Structure 1
Amino acid sequence: MDEFRGRVITSDEIRQFQQKLAQYEERQLNIFYEYFKEDLIYIIECLDTLSILRELNFRNLISLEQYVSIKKQCGATAFAEMLVEDIHSLGRDAVLGFWESLYGLQNDHPHPNLLGVLDELTQRGDHLEQSIHLDKDGPVLSPDFKVCQEEHRQTLLGKTQTLVEHRAPGLTCESQSFDISERYLDLIVVSSQHFRSRPQHELIATGGIHEHYLQRAQSNLERISPNRLFRWCHRKRCVPQTVLVSGVPGVGKTTLMQKFVFDWANGKLYQRFAFVFFFKFRELNSKDELSLAKMIIDEYPYLHNQLDKIFQNSGQLLFIFDGLDESKYQIDLKQMELCTNPCSMQTVGVIVSSLVRQTLLNGCSVLITSRPTRLATVETSIFHRVSEIMGFFPKERETYFLHFFRDYTMAEKAFHYVRENGMLYTFCYIPSYCWIICTVLSMCFRAQKINSASTIEFFPKTVTQLFASFLSNILANHCQQRCIDKNFLISIGRMAENGVNSHTLSFTKDDLEAFSVDTSSHLVTSFVMESGKPPHVSYSFLHLTIQEFMAALVHYLDYSPERLQKALEEAKSYKDGRGEIFLRFISGLSDSSTRSLLKPYIGDLSAEASKHVIRFLQTSISTLQTPNTDNRMRLNVFASLTESRNKALVSSSIGSNKQLDFSEFYLAPLDCTVLAFILESCKGTELLDLCSCFIQTEGLERISPTLHTVTEVRLTNNNLRHEDVPRIYSIITHPKCRIQTLSLRNNGLTEESCLPLALAINENKSLRDLDLSKNKLAGDDFYQLLAVLSDPACRIERLALQETKLTPEYCESLLSLTNNTKLVFLNISSNFFGNTGYPHIQKLILTHPSLKEIKVGMNEFSEETEKNLLQLQRHRTDMTINL
């Protein structure tokens, strides 16, 4: 967030802002307000509500109490929408006051969306109305040019209107098609500036930061909706002409581009562009050399006669290139060889680079999509806007399930199952992954109907089981027609493995022939999709993860000790994490129950391969015992063990290590799921240090089922909030809870947290040491917590309430702690007791029967009071008093 704290807004700047806004007519203000409406709603959702309401109340625009009350009754989005509408309905003065309030808030709340809106309003205000109308109505075109444009729109509408939802064989006979407006779900697109070689597999890394982004949305996550991609960019201080959109495989880059083009062709988006040209790098791979003119005519032949005229207005053109990572050309955007003539024969790389660098059709706009891994080697700084698709957040995930099943009860049942399974749920941010999960669960539900004895036990619990079930579904369908060709599976598995190792997603006919993949096999379309037109056809797996699963499976279909050992060592050695999911799959297949899912269709998978993998895991575990082992390496091994479901292996290999320290290491929800399995397998863990691991709601949810097995749990500085206390309650009150020491220090717990904590402590039988320091616990409910801690039956021996916002009126109640005869240590420092509270603190020190040490410093005592406290040491020689 530091990048947004560049300067402080002065009172002079606020006056200048007020004067600028006052110049606009009410009509213009209404146009601007409608233009920014979506942004304003998001900003209100993200910022501190009280800060906005206080500003508006100060200007006598609203009643603070009334709107605070309303906020409690409805969700953040509904409240934001209502507030924006209410302000608008109050008229010009209210709208001006609202803008002024937001302008003043940017010092304390420099949210990038807020800064971007204010920047666009102030920097482009004089031209903004014209720009809004241009985006809505488009440039004026001659009649013949208008006819040509309309033909182009209709062509693009035909290509983009239908959204195809692939269905795996066995569920339906064919894929289903839907109108894109009916089934398209918004994807979260955020600003992103950093692409480098990632130490983790890109799916795992992106999934891991989802929870982080959910929290950042309240502070400094810049969210960019599709209709904002070519809007004013606050970071670069310009209206972008070159935009880069990244995203992991299957996250929806192509679908986003399809919806973007559809909305333009339908007249709903960016009409400033007279023509939009949509290309896929995969389909351009067959072109060795061509000109930009030929590239367009090959795709849109009806534009041939108008092309020269189209090129004359380059500022009205948008070129979209989808899938940079699938280009066979190494596109160097910084290269010196560029072209200026749209009719000049060049490579695809030179043409794209020249458009981006503006030597070709200067003034045109360019939009490129790519996987993050490819961008580690691409110069991205020349783009005006760089963004990343984050896929689905929880609300969109649930909506996807409802769309897929089209039956609310079934969708709810499926989503609930996945929501409770952290291993599966973590990857649900990827739309294509949601499809695979829904496909498998749909099959499970059907089997349950056929066989009433079938239970939830047969549902997938690991990612490996999910993909084994997916594959078994495909094979079951083909088994009804003819026998499964095991050699075909081996061939396509070898090709898949080669692709994983070489970062290859798109394969040619020559690639298939090189690996003896028979394209005439009835199984081909179940694994790969075709793109392009003969003779330039390319093939890719339905999803990268399916490719990775087949790469692992081939070693169980055709076991070779040397080949398997080499594959394991190579996968482990990759610094960019490309081998991580492969390793998890190959470990998961070592589990006999997982392999049994495929046995009816392809027979026994190699038991020797399973033993080989288990030996490899044992070796990997032994390397974790060395000092200073990297935590990411440790978690990668733990993840493979989790997929293997081999609790005996975990217990025998890791169980002897009674302490697990991940302090100050970011733990994603998936990591927490993995740790839960490790703890469940080990059972006797003495210490789990999760201080400053950025564990939040979802992460705590994933690890909580097993935290009760640990003796000492440290959850210091994890931004846990009142909403997370029910989960903490379930941990502490577990019938078999072993926790003796619990630190919840420096989190976001509030007065509301006190009652459930009190109930939990009262029910717990093991807890002896509790640290609640640096939480805002002061309030009426704190007395209920104190009552439990003061009960003669309370077992708490060490209690820390440092910096919990306690004031003098709490001091007398603290005296009740003398009833807890087990208490030997008390930390109540860094509160606000002052001299007023001293008599009660003095009495507590002098009369507590069991206390051996008390910390009372930093409580706004006078020097004389502090001296008096120290003098008490003479009366309580059995107690240490620390200031």
Structure 2
Amino acid sequence: MAFTGVSKKKIVFRNGDLIKYNLQPSQFLSGFLMELLERDDSVQSVVYTFPHLTIQEFVAALGQFLTPDPGDIGKLLSEAHSEEDGRFEIFLRFVAGLSSPQAAWPLEKFLGQFLHQTTCRVIDWVKEKVEGQIGNTESESGKRKLLNTFHYLFESQNKTLAQKTVGSVETLTFSQMRLTPIDCAVLSHTIGLCATIKELNLSNCCIQCEGLQRLRSTLHKCQELRLGNNDLGDSGVKLLSAALRNPDCKIQKLELYENNLTDLCIKDLASALTTNQSLIILILDYNELGDEGVKLLSTALRNPNCKIQKLDLWGVGLTDSCIEDLVSALSTNQSLKVMYLGSNFFTDQSVPALCHLLKTCRTLEEMWLRQNSFSPNEKEQLESLQDFRPGLSVFV
């Protein structure tokens, strides 16, 4: 009865429903069903409902393991999984969870042995779904289905199954999809089972600092970490700084554009950059770092342990006031190759320092300075430095 209700989005049951399933209301009112009075055209009738939809979904899942002849359970689960409106999602997570011996054992003491055939088929079905969905993340529907299968793995508590299915996964892409803190916890569990993640793309997922908190234990395993436009705030960067300090950190590229960052988080980030040995690309564009933030960042760039090769500070609110600190730091830097300083508030006053930088930073290959307030003559002077050193490109 509970499963039929989930299938038909039905939460209210009548006496006829109970009779159909050979149920007596008195047996269940104490814990599973609530009795309600329904008034219709001045006539009162008794109806029944589960205390919460989640309890109905749990009972629907539990019934699959207690039915002597469940039929083709794999087909039933596949049909439920194919529904796009999400009505079966919690039901399917409960089914996956009940295949776990740890979850089943306390219930079997009261309800009797779960059908072994059903448990095995559920495990096989989860395996099939994960293997079939990995790599199919081009559409939002594909991303959502893959995330759902990760939820099934998480609920199953089956480490052997999880490692067989996701252990070799190298790329996880969920960009443009809103993720809840629970989704982030499930992703963290999945990443923890993978050998190495070459790319984790969570840009535009609205995870905020709370979601990042759930992910922080495994972030250091990702080589490319794309977290742009997630409203992480300064507290989020403090969590990321801890990942960068991890001795086993593999992060090579970190995207943090449009995250409402300010200069208040840069001290932690700069400190992490002086000890981190893996990060070579840092994207910070369109945050409110300001001059103070870049002055703090300059301390890291000046440190010989800093390995940054590409630094994006496009549109972060810089003015002429920070240019001396930045140039001083980069003049001794031995790693930086590409720098973006476009869409800031630099004027002709910064040009002499920038010219000095372009002449002295021997590793620099590209400098982007577009959308600043330079006069035509000063633009020409900056561009002319491309002839001064072969291999240098200046975009003004």
Please say whether Structure 1 and Structure 2 have the same fold, judged by a TM-score greater than 0.5.
yes
Residues 626-650 of structure 1: per-residue CA shift (max 9 Å, x gap): 4735222222222222211233333
Q: Which amino acid aligns with 2:50?
A: F
**2: CA distance between counterparts of 1:564 and 1:634?**
20
User: Counterpart amino acid of 2:143?
Assistant: N
- 1:756: how far off? 1.6
- From 380, 389, 394, the equivalent of 1:876 is 389
Partner residue in 1 for 2:348: 835
Q: Matches of 1:721 and 1:621 in 2, distance apart? A: 33
Structure 1 distance, partners of 2:282, 2:117, is 50
Q: 1:701 aligns with which of 185, 194, 213?
A: 213
1:755 shift after superposition: 1.1
1:578 deviates by 0.9
Amino acid at match of 2:272: A
Residues 665 and 693, structure 1, Cα contact 8 Å, conserved in 2: yes
For 1:532 and 1:626, the matched residues in 2 are separated by: 48
Moved over 6 A (4+): none
The answer on whether the counterparts of 2:343 and 2:371 sit within 8 Å (CA) in structure 1 is yes
Is 1:866 aligned to 2:379, yes or no? yes
Q: Distance in 2 between matches of 1:768 and 1:759?
A: 15
**SS in structure 2 at match of 1:513:** helix
Residue 102 (structure 2) aligns with: 593
Render the CA deviation track for 1:180-231: whole Å, top value 9, x for unaligned.
xxxxxxxxxxxxxxxxxxxxxxxxxxxxxxxxxxxxxxxxxxxxxxxxxxxx
Counterparts of 1:726 and 1:692, CA distance in 2: 20
In structure 1, the residue matched to 2:234 is: 722
**Map of 1:476-515 to 2, 5 A cutoff?**
495-515=1-21
What is aligned with 2:332? 819
Other-structure match for 1:482: none
Using the alignment, how far apart are the partners of 2:325 and 2:93 within structure 1?
Answer: 55
Structure 1 pair 563/842, CA: closer, same or farther in 2 (3 Å)? Answer: same
- Equivalent position of 1:548 in the other structure: 57
Retained in 2: the 8 A contact 1:559–1:609?
A: no
Q: Where does residue 309 of structure 2 map in the other structure?
A: 797
Give the structure-1-normalised TM-score: 0.42
Residue 535 of structure 1 and its aligned partner are, at CA, apart by: 8.8
Within the candidate set 18, 33, 40, 1:528 is matched to: 33
Is the alpha carbon distance of 1:844 and 1:535 closer, same or farther for their aligned partners in structure 2, counting shifts above 3 Å?
A: closer
Partner of 2:196: 684
Aligned-partner residue type, residue 727 of structure 1: L
CA distance in structure 2 between the partners assigned to 1:800 and 1:762 by the alignment? 18
DSSP-derived class of the 2:225 partner: strand
Answer whether contact 1:650 1:682 (CA < 8 A) is retained: no
Asked if 1 retains the 8 angstrom alpha-carbon contact of 2:209 and 2:231, the reply is no
Please give the alpha-carbon distance, in whole angstroms, between the structure 2 residues aligned to 1:589 and 1:599: 11
Paired with 2:378 and 2:293, the residues of 1 have a C-alpha distance of 29
Alpha carbons 2:276, 2:306 under 8 Å: kept: no
The aligned runs of 1:320-719 (5 Å cut-off) are 495-521=1-27, 524-532=29-37, 536-560=45-69, 562-624=71-133, 625-626=135-136, 628-629=138-139, 630-719=142-231
Q: Deviations over 1:16-39 (max 9, x none)?
A: xxxxxxxxxxxxxxxxxxxxxxxx
Q: Residues 662 and 693 of structure 1 are in contact (CA less than 8 Å); yes or no, is this contact kept in structure 2?
A: yes
Give the Cα separation in 2 of the matches to 1:679 and 1:862: 50
The CA deviation at 1:838 is: 0.5
RMSD: 2.2
Size of the alignment, in residue pairs? 388
Quote the Cα distance in structure 1 between the aligned partners of 2:337 and 2:85: 51
1:439-474 deviation digits (Å, cap 9, x = unpaired): xxxxxxxxxxxxxxxxxxxxxxxxxxxxxxxxxxxx
Q: How does 1:82-93 map to 2 (within 5 A)?
A: none
1 CA distance for matches of 2:360 and 2:160? 53
Following the alignment from structure 1 to structure 2, what is the Cα–Cα distance between the partners of residues 548 and 780? 53
C-alpha change, 1:626 and 1:723, in structure 2 (3 Å) is: closer
Determine what percentage of the aligned residue pairs are the same residue: 35
Compared with structure 1, are the counterparts of its residues 507 and 751 closer, same or farther at alpha carbon in structure 2 (3 Å cutoff)? same
Deviations 1:262-293, CA, capped at 9 Å, x for gaps: xxxxxxxxxxxxxxxxxxxxxxxxxxxxxxxx
Residue aligned with 1:536, SS: strand
Alpha-carbon shift at residue 550 of structure 1 (Å)? 0.8
The equivalent residue for 1:783 is: 295
Counterpart Cα distance in 2 of 1:867 and 1:761: 34
Shift of 1:734: 2.9
Matched residues in 2 for 1:860 and 1:651: separation? Answer: 55
1:180-329 alignment, distance < 5 Å: none
Q: Match of 2:145, SS?
A: helix
Does residue 810 (structure 1) correspond to residue 345 (structure 2)? The answer is no
Structure with greater Cα Rg: 1
Q: AA paired with 1:740?
A: Q
The two structures have a TM-score, normalised by structure 2, of: 0.91
1:97-116 alignment, distance < 5 Å: none
For 1:864, give the aligned amino acid: N
The 3-state SS of whatever aligns with 1:596 is helix
Output one character per residue of 1:565-593: Cα deviation in whole Å (capped at 9) or x when no partner: 34313312333211111111101111221
Q: CA deviation at 1:602?
A: 2.8
Q: Which amino acid aligns with 1:583?
A: L
Gapped regions of structure 2 (runs ≥ 5) = none
Partner SS state of residue 527, structure 1: coil
> How far apart, in 2, do the equivalents of 1:801 and 1:814 lie?
12
Moved more, 726-735 or 539-548: 726-735
Deviations 1:461-515 (A, max 9, x none): xxxxxxxxxxxxxxxxxxxxxxxxxxxxxxxxxx111211122212222222221
Distance in 2 between the 1:680 and 1:738 partners? Answer: 14
Structure 1 residue 600 displacement after superposition: 2.8
Q: Determine helix, strand or coil for the equivalent of 1:660.
A: strand
